[in-house]
Amino acid sequence: MSANIYQKKKEICEIGRRIYAKGFAAANDGNISYRISENEVLCTPTMVNKGFLTPDDICLLDMDGNQLSGRLKRSSEALLHLTIMKEREDVKSVVHCHPPHATAFAVAREPIPQCVLPEVEVFLGDVPITKYETPGGQAFADTIMPFVRKTNVIILANHGTVSYGETVERAYWWTEILDAYCRILLLAMQLGRVKYFSEKETRELLDLKTKFGFHDARQDPGMEDCDICGNDIFRDSWEEAGVERKIFPAPEPMGRNAPKTNGAAGKLDQEALIRTITDRVMAALQKS
């Protein structure tokens, strides 16, 4: 075994220790992978606590999911990792676990609010929720397909999260940021409200994100008219996935699709006004 491969196995074990220590993976939950060549991927084994892994526990797979080596059986959810890697050539590592605060949103099918924390806008952006499929098979792995190229972290309905990046450390970061954010959101709601950024404040953060070299789908061609704080990137997927905003109120519309004033009269566009009123009435009815 080369020193480089052994080092990557050690890195997998370290991230396994972290997700267990953070409470992101109870018992034998979670799985981690690391691509080491065009057709070879290191992967954690099934039925093993991720907090106590050793390099000898790590399996070697090919890109079709066939186990090439390892004394233990590979994770049953390896196809999820391989599907992400096939769709994203830049991705070398995938981390899947069950962080409790983010998984609460997965169970409630509540979309993650945007435009609340600077770090989340810069590092995450809009976070989608997949439709539910029984974990383990290719149908489950394919639930990430509508989202995988537009984000680095995905919430798996009624299941957990999956995040990915060019290293296992970076892949894990997105999960930790997301769960900390979800915890803050839940605490803020106990205080009674969440305050959103203005459009100007949000665009400043998106500009900063670009300078840092991170991609945000809200700045892609064709998204000029999106409501930058309204989960516009993935909202078309909500109906199929059973996602519905019930707990966290939508921010006031921002961007070109927001209600506009009509010159000196200062009147709101009728269609936009009706849409805004309807959204507020429906939100009030859902709370009653």
Running along the chain, 288 residues long, what does each successive block of 10 average in pLDDT? 89 98 96 97 97 97 96 95 97 98 98 96 96 96 97 98 97 98 96 92 92 88 87 95 94 62 39 60 65
> According to the model, what pLDDT value does residue 48 have?
96
Contact 43, 32 (CB under 8 A): yes
- Adjacency order of strands within the sheet including 59-62: 67-69, 59-62, 40-43, 31-37, 93-97, 160-165, 153-156
| Residue 209, pLDDT score | 92
Give the CA distances from residue 72 to residues 40, 57, 151, 156, 282, in Å, rounded to whole numbers and listed in that order.
Answer: 17, 6, 32, 26, 52
> What pLDDT sits at residue 284?
64
**Whole-angstrom Cα distance, residue 115 to residue 205?**
9
For position 142, what pLDDT does the model report? 98
Report whether 94 contacts 32 (CB < 8 A). yes
pLDDT reported for residue 271: 54
283, two tokens? 């939100």
- The first and second tokens of residue 108, run together, are 């409630």
Rounded CA gap, 75 and 178, in Å? 24
Cβ neighbourhood burial of 149 (10 Å; 0-12, 13-18, 19+): exposed
Q: Tell me the C-alpha distance between 271 and 253, whole Å.
A: 13
Q: Map out the domains of the chain with their CATH numbers.
A: 3-191 (3.40.225.10), 225-287 (no CATH)
As given in the structure block, the two tokens for residue 9 are 């196995």
Tell me the three state secondary structure of residue 282.
Answer: helix
* Amino acid occupying residue 166: E
What is the structure's pLDDT at 288? 57
